[in-house]
Amino acid sequence: MALAVRAPRFQPRPASVSAPASTSSLAAAANARSRAGAAVRASAASPFTEATSSSRYRRDAWSYAADGSSKPASSSSSSDAAAAAAAVAAAGRRDDEIALQLPELRRLLDALRASRGRGAEGEGGAGGPGRVALVGTGPGDPELLTLKAVRAIEAADLVLYDRLVSNDVLDLVGEGARLLYVSKTAGYHSRTQEEIHELLLSFAEAGANVVRLKGGDPLVFGRGGEEMDFLQQQGIRVEVIPGITSASGIAAELGIPLTHRGVATSVRFLTGHSRNGGTDPLYVAGNAADPDTTLVVYMGLSTLPSLASKLMKHGLPPDTPAVAVERGTTPQQRMVFSLLKDLVDEVKSADLVSPTLIIIGKVVSLSPFWVDSSEHDALKIENSYVSEAR
């Protein structure tokens, strides 16, 4: 079907239910959006922090300081350190990059302990342990942050952030705070999960106010539960500040009700990740193919061919409406609407990249962006529901 870029904002469906626009006019609109999408893709930088992005190294430059000082490095030395670290990361030498950071991380930890009257081992002194806040930042649009999340970000001493935390959100971090990139992406883990646990624990024990920023919601495919459990077992106070998960934020952006009376009676969130990093989704049960359930697939680009095939094999109709949304809720949003049977080819043709969220279900055709004229057209679904209600 059609590739489209983000419209200014969700526009409600017109009140009248006259006949849908002609196929030719819909196709023309779709083609226009497709051309616009290509232009946006070519000219716009990612709204998120990529593993080797210049914005990431500018933020993290302090952690590569080589002058032996715990004070922030000068702009020139920061630039040199960031450039060196970027070259190391680009070459794939993860261990070397972390080794470059460790001396400055230790100095910062010692400085925090000293400022709170603690010894080198974190014992004695009047200050108690700090706290850790696991903060959800939503799907990318900074206006979707909660007030509680903004306050926590502004008050942080140290911010550990993921790739899917948008640059606009990171701009809210206070000037005195330190930022450290700890994302895990396919083929590039800046830190293992165990190392992240130890960083959170060490700085919290030193009395720091640590904020762990996660895209979406920390407890929805964000491994926030693991971090919370680990820290609580070590006696660290943990606060979870929920974020708008991508399913809710992106569905709202596209005008897709995840549940709708007479159309979808439930919604199910699936991870598209394979536990072993392969092309098969982690788990697909027969009841995931329920036509009355909306499926939302996180991180599902690599496993989409297998997932779509298994869903249809389990009985989900091939003409079920679906949409794949890249970088949802940001100005760089791109989306592909399609029937399930064509979704893999359409996504491949559009060359969508991560992060992409996939929504599968009859409710997709209720979106004002749905341009298919098949039997699943939104107007026909609505008219059918009205008839049943009568």
Select which of 60, 141, 157, 162 is catalytic.
Answer: 162
Q: Tell me the three state secondary structure of residue 103.
A: helix
**Which entry of 96, 110, 184, 377 is annotated as an active-site residue?**
184
What is the rounded radius of gyration, in angstroms, for the C-alpha atoms of the chain? 23
Contact (Cβ atoms closer than 8 angstroms) between residue 292 and residue 358: no
Instruction: Please return the burial class of 121, using the count of CB atoms within 10 Å of its CB with bins 0-12, 13-18 and 19+.
Output: exposed
Residue among 1, 228, 299, 335 flagged as catalytic? 299
Measured distance CA(336)–CA(346) in Å, rounded: 7
DSSP count for the chain of H helices, then E strands:
12, 13
Residue 357's beta-bridge partner residues?
A: 325
Reply yes or no on whether 162 is catalytic. yes
299 as an active site residue: the answer is yes
**For the stretch 361-372, what's the b/e string if a residue is b when 16 or more beta carbons lie within 10 angstroms of its beta carbon?**
bbbbbbbebbbb
Cis, peptide link before residue 355, omega less than 30° from 0:
yes
Quick one: residue 261, left, alpha or beta (phi over 0 = left, psi -120 to 50 = alpha)? beta
Q: Is 15 helix (H, G, I), strand (E, B) or coil?
A: coil
Q: Is 140 exposed, middle or buried (0-12, 13-18, 19+ CB in 10 A)?
A: buried
> In the beta sheet, which residues pair with residue 24?
none
> Closest by alpha carbon to 355, among 330, 325, 335?
325
Nearest CA to 138 out of 11, 267, 244 is that of 244
Residue 246: is it exposed, middle or buried by C-beta count within 10 angstroms (0-12/13-18/19+)?
buried
Contact 353, 3 (CB under 8 A): no
Alpha carbon of 99 to those of 88, 89, 190, 202: distances in Å? 11, 12, 11, 17
Which of the residues are catalytic?
162, 184, 299
